Structure 1
């Protein structure tokens, strides 16, 4: 059973933690908003469960609390930004704003980012473009955890891709997925709960399929989306390749197996091929393609058509990308954020060390 916490109470706690490291107030609120987005939308692998790692990295001086971002290269609608080893939760939103500004001037905007770290849930960023009648995109690479197709050694990150499309009356379409079979955090959640994972998610250090989280985490690897040859795992490998190149090779960040680990206890690779990890942000001004209102109406029609598809036997209904997160949001804003005991323990450590009180949980729930 998980304990439920009021969303605003968790937000206040996270903000105070970031402020304790002398992050500017605006940056502390921004970092909190990115993490809270995950918890409030049911993405438990990328929210407050990650706070302890950010805390440890800041405490060890491995993240710059007051970075001076700079554009290192630029041509009209494209640019590369150096994040000065700043918190990815802060650098990410600011670079997405830059991409949208470029899109407003030139029809599209593209920003590659190096020298930063984990930026939370990829889906947070393209949603920023929706109020501006733009289509948004974000990608990030991450430390190695995924084997390339037909390989048994970790060489790539989970390398997620996210896009968001505005609508008129229907909720927006929000696409957010890892290029691996599953996000690494999902395996961590199974480990915390003492559960096994589905066959096809990962392999052990010998390259054999496994359902045991520890077997993957101790020398094994996640598989690319699709997994095996029969599942067309080469397609997931192609997606991961695309993300790695756009986020890291293009920006001058560390790519593939050389990406900087997020976990503080993991030794960095001996070889460096760039600075930090990389992100990539994009925005398209819809008005440059089609009348905005027409596009939104067409999106509504697309959504209604997809939802009207007869469901599979035993399935409830067809959902569009973004529906599960919206359902989770409605439930969690009303009832609270469910936190696992292991996550609560990590927050209690932070609370003891900083003197910042952890908010009290309200109820127990099986949600989570």
Structure 2
């Protein structure tokens, strides 16, 4: 099915309204998910709606949170999300980071008692819109085994760094610290295809290409896949995200993170509250004039784009570039949604008495 941005946005807002969100929060949550779909990151867009509804029905998501600052200095803060949608809590926190950066040069916010916050890029880009450098990271469902282990201890724990440019789109480094995001496995499951070797291991630690391996005790591998290929580096990056997002804020960390996936239940012995995020904003003009920085960012992009290619038909891809072009295409031609997700959305609509998603002419 191909649907327009406005149709998908309206449907998504209606789902959040049916959950009891305010109009402001429903519109914001929908905006975060829609940016993911618009930028071609299909695993984190409306395909995630069923997960939010499921957690809300289990009373693990508060549709009307009282988000508040619980600790603060001029440049830092800790925020309690009151079990709200991470899609709402994280933008609130980034606004605080930006306000602190506007006054003091940088702002750093650690968040506890939140939920899945969508794509990290959405939150980092909020800073870019203010000519700042944005940072966003979060811990997540424990699906990843550390190097030399077969026990699920960490999440895919994404991190994002976003840099403003001039004539070019922002440079956005947005990535999971695992070999692959769980959403990639879900896409493979819907397509009934195997996943590449090196993404997951089975319950005993052996390589497998089964996209359902996690449901039978397997685990995702850290970025690098195994020690010989640098998995200890992915493990280190993931650990950094977990510590900044949760140990620092008072959220759950490691294997205690309450899961977003349906086949896991929250641990009975939490060490914190909810899941955690870490966000930051830095003013470019705290280091050099913004126009100079953007000129040199353009030069950086231009030079890397002109790097000698191995294959003349495949040049260097700048971080964030594929997503930028996907957004241009989908804004014009609509958003493709696979049949399995369409089925899920119809079920959600029926469950919440929301008008079903229909594809009007684009």
Bigger drift between 52-61 and 169-178 goes to 52-61
- State TM-score, norm by structure 2: 0.97
Q: C-alpha deviations, 1:84-106, integer Å up to 9, x for none?
A: 11111000101011111111111
Give the alignment partner of residue 326 of structure 1, picking from 315, 318, 324.
324
Any gaps of 5 or more consecutive residues in structure 1?
364-368
Counterpart of 2:334? 336
Give the alignment partner of residue 14 of structure 1, picking from 9, 12, 15.
12
Q: Distance in 1 between matches of 2:220 and 2:293?
A: 38
Q: Distance in 2 between matches of 1:131 and 1:262?
A: 30
CA contact (8 A) 1:201 1:223 kept: yes
Give the alignment partner of residue 25 of structure 1, picking from 1, 12, 23.
23
Deviation at 1:120, TM superposition (A): 0.3
CA RMSD of aligned residues (A): 1.3
Deviation at 1:131, TM superposition (A): 2.1
Give the alignment partner of residue 259 of structure 2, picking from 258, 261, 265.
261
Deviation at 1:325, TM superposition (A): 0.3
Q: Distance in 1 between matches of 2:177 and 2:322?
A: 19
Counterpart of 2:280? 282
Deviation at 1:142, TM superposition (A): 0.4
Q: C-alpha deviations, 1:141-185, integer Å up to 9, x for none?
A: 001000101111110000000011011111110110000011011
Deviation at 1:207, TM superposition (A): 0.4
Task: Give the secondary-structure state (helix, strand or coil) at the position aligned to 1:290.
Answer: coil
Counterpart of 1:215? 213
- Correspondence 1:286-325 to 2 at 5 A: 286-313=284-311, 315-325=313-323
Deviation at 1:358, TM superposition (A): 1.9
- Correspondence 1:209-248 to 2 at 5 A: 209-248=207-246
CA contact (8 A) 1:87 1:117 kept: yes
Deviation at 1:81, TM superposition (A): 0.5
Matched, 1:354 2:352: yes
Q: Distance in 1 between matches of 2:310 and 2:241?
A: 32
Bigger drift between 150-159 and 333-342 goes to 333-342
Counterpart of 2:191? 193
CA contact (8 A) 2:141 2:261 kept: no
Any gaps of 5 or more consecutive residues in structure 2?
none
Q: Distance in 2 between matches of 1:163 and 1:358?
A: 36
CA contact (8 A) 1:210 1:216 kept: no
Deviation at 1:332, TM superposition (A): 1.4
Q: Distance in 2 between matches of 1:73 and 1:337?
A: 41
Runs of 4+ aligned residues of structure 1 deviating over 3 Å after TM superposition are none
Q: Distance in 2 between matches of 1:234 and 1:148?
A: 8
Deviation at 1:264, TM superposition (A): 4.7
Q: Distance in 2 between matches of 1:344 and 1:274?
A: 36
Deviation at 1:315, TM superposition (A): 4.8
Aligned residue-pair number: 361
CA contact (8 A) 2:250 2:273 kept: yes
Deviation at 1:359, TM superposition (A): 2.6
